[in-house]
Amino acid sequence: MPENFADRLIAATHLKHSPSCVGIDPDYSKLPASISGHREMNDPSDSEAALDAILEFSRRVLKIVAPFVPAVKINTAFFERYYSQGVEGYYELIQDAAKLNLVVIGDCKRGDVGNTSEMYARSALSDPDFSNLDDMVGPDAVTVNGWAGLDGVKPFIDVAREEQKGIFVWVRASNPSAAAIQEAKLENGDTVCEHLARQVASWAAGDGLIGRSGYSAVGAVVAAKDHQATARMRELMPHCVFLIPGYGAQGGTAADIVPAFKPDGTGALVTASRSVIYAFNDPKYASQFPNQWEKCVEQACRDFVADVAAAIKK
């Protein structure tokens, strides 16, 4: 039975007892040797061999993490790297993740003006509406760029409403230079980022978007890098689930994520990408499980989930 995206996401986090998400950013140069060294995949100068390797890796990561996390975020850039075949692989992974009952977030940061955004909303978020593709599903949610304001985001909101899907508008980025734009102060005292957050909050409160959980199908990507700023985001967007990138490799810590949650422990989905999927390159795990990359990923995923749980409980 279709159900509001935010409600489904929250039910999935309850089922796994964790508001966590693993980011699938597969980079050939970081793959375990047992995959990239395979005789059919050991040629990174051949796009098909390289793509086969990153898909094999990604499929195995999905299976490893599925018992522990409710959601995965698949980053389109790492698949577009391999052109049309990479895009085909991206959609195959979405099908695989859906079969594992994972909530699938397509991290594509799409967005443009009206009629172009309509095309993006159809391709990036909708379940395909073509008769020859009727057994294929789109992701459950996507990340959206809000630079063009509501006109550019509305087509995604419409698809979210019609198909019980979700969006996360990119409000606050995790990288240092984003501050030069996002933290600029407006006349009224808001930062640019707070100003966008207010608008996202009003979009999130639109007709038919808020579920029984009190959360909207319209959420926000919010980097948690500073307690006070995150608390302010939480205050400004009460109905939005926050998709928090950058846990682990991008420098985020468990303590940073706390203000993104409400006191009842809901309201955010914390994503770790590189720190989990490349754990076999981390001496901490590699020394514990030498030459067992899957064990490393599993342990890093368990540790990530435990860290998030401990941070929220405090």
Catalytically annotated residues: 109
Would you give the distance in Å from CA 111 to the centre of its chain? 16
Beta bridge pairs of residue 142 = 106, 167
- Closer to its own copies by Cβ: residue 5 or 79: 79
Which residue, 174 or 292, is less far from its own copies as judged by CB? 174
Could you identify the residue written with the tokens 């599903």? Answer: 137
Rounded Cα distance between 6 and 14, Å, is 12
Shortest Å distance, C-beta 223 to its own copies: 9
Told to check if 310 binds its own copies by CB under 8 A, we report no
Report how far residue 182's alpha carbon sits from residue 177's, in angstroms, rounded to the nearest whole number: 9
Report if residue 88 touches its own copies, rule: CB under 8 A: yes
Tell me how far, at minimum, the Cβ of 179 lies from its own copies, in Å.
7
What are 271's two structure tokens?
């994503």
Structure tokens at 143: 């990340």
According to the binding rule CB under 8 A, does residue 104 interact with its own copies?
no
Neighbour tally for 56: CB within 10 Å? 17
Residue 29 found at the interface with its own copies (CB under 8 A): no
Element housing 171 (H / E): strand 166-172
What does each C-alpha distance from 266 to 23, 204, 212, 218 come to in angstroms?
Answer: 20, 16, 13, 15
Shortest distance, CB of residue 68 to its own copies, whole angstroms? 24
Which residue of 34, 95, 101, 123 would you call a contact of its own copies, by CB under 8 A? 123
Pick one of 85, 213, 281, 292: the residue that binds its own copies (CB under 8 A): 85
**Stretch of residues binding its own copies (CB under 8 A), selected from 6-14, 156-164, 186-194, 233-241:** 186-194
| Of the candidate residues 1, 29, 135, 180, the single one contacting its own copies (CB under 8 A) | 180
Q: Which of 32, 139, 152, 259 binds its own copies (CB under 8 A)?
A: 152
- Which listed residue (1, 2, 39, 130) binds its own copies by CB under 8 A? 130
Exposed, middle or buried, 65 (CB in 10 Å: 0-12/13-18/19+)?
Answer: buried
Among 34, 95, 101, 175, binds its own copies (CB under 8 A): 175
287 counts as binding its own copies under rule CB under 8 A: no
> With binding defined as CB under 8 A, does residue 248 bind its own copies?
no
Interface with its own copies by CB under 8 A: which range of 44-52, 232-240, 254-262, 277-285? Answer: 44-52
Nearest-angstrom CA–CA distance, 81 and 137: 22
Does position 30 interact with its own copies (CB under 8 A)? The reply is no
251 binds its own copies (CB under 8 A): no
Residue 10 or residue 53: which is nearer to its own copies going by CB?
53
Sequence-ordered list of residues with C-beta below 8 angstroms from that of 242, at least 6 positions apart, any chain: 219, 220, 221, 222, 224, 233, 234, 260, 267, 268, 269
Which tokens hold the place of 73?
A: 């975020």
Q: 305 Cβ partners below 8 Å, 6+ apart?
A: 18, 20, 68, 69
- Could you tell me if 295 and 61 are in contact, meaning their C-beta atoms sit under 8 angstroms apart? no
Query: Rounded to whole angstroms, how far apart are CA atoms 102 and 66?
Result: 7
Whichever of 6 and 257 has its CB closer to its own copies, that residue is 257
Contact residues: its own copies, CB under 8 A? 25, 27, 45-48, 50, 75, 77-78, 80-88, 91, 107, 109-117, 119-120, 122-124, 128-133, 145-152, 170, 173-182, 184-187, 192, 195-196, 199, 245, 250
